[in-house]
Structure 1
């Protein structure tokens, strides 16, 4: 019986240390020892499932933080543009003060977005992105096309020159799209 308990102890320690799917096995035919091994194996399976759920949840949170940090930058850039346009207009002293307050708040927001971005980069270094062959030329064209209406509305005529040589890289498509739109 002592040998069986030692087998269970070594097996349990090994399974917890190495995060393996191998179950604890005992050589004993004693029903109580085998029942103990079965109960421990059942609990190990539950523990593995909880660990996988935790890792998946953590990955989803990191992806959401990364997406959020990138997505905040686009409207912030637009707001900065509008602030610059406002600054070129004539103002009363009150409106100048309000613009200065808006600029200061935007700087704080930009700093927070940068901190969020830095956190997401450091936290997501362990997260695997779904890499696939991406034709960068087409991805860039699609991104520019998405802003074409806005550019025309603002009477901006872009001069776009994309090389004709196909540039294909193994990338996460949604991350590249977010980078281009930012």
Structure 2
């Protein structure tokens, strides 16, 4: 009987001690949570226990803290992106509108029919530029929507590339560029999307023509498993290219942003290439800017 009483007392004391210990641990965790709620910090909750229910509770709380921190960073990045977007769009859209307004005023004041035709032609050109910019913005907005899907089907990538090159032939010649084209005539298929591929090639060629000098090389090389497309052009030395940023939204090598474009062309190309399960890279070497696109070859088509 005495032994049973002693055992009961010992168990009671151990229970009280254990309860006090856990209470102290939970109180410590609560204090840390209160501190984290009141301060901007990357600290996590610590516990004396390395195992057991208190340690498991600490781990779960730390997981929630890390997820909350990541969500806050994403929200802050999105807000910063939105502000940058609004600033850049305001600048890019205002430039052709201001130019059009100036020529419109000249058109109203002029009584010379030839002058009026010249002003009208300039206004028409600015309207076309503005339409292209808005089209780029609309495409970029669609691509930033994760729910937007590009339907894939077998595409003869060499035919599409040659077709786009031909459509730019007049622009290339007007710039005095002699293009070197090495694209096989035999059909080479990838799993792609024809409108997306056309947009990719158009945006890259437009960039080459606007920022290049007098050299342009377009090559398509297929191996046993892949299709690689190279666009190479020498660029204007007064506009150094940062190869790590060329695919960033609104990036322009000319800091003055004098071109009538949004700076979204290569960013859109990159988004579309990735939607087609391909990859795209940029490289600068010896004043030659090279864009390389890689797709998986579609066999047995």
TM-score in terms of structure 2 length: 0.30
TM-score in terms of structure 1 length: 0.47
**RCO higher in 1 or 2 (8 Å CA, sep ≥ 6)?**
1
Which structure has greater helix proportion? 1
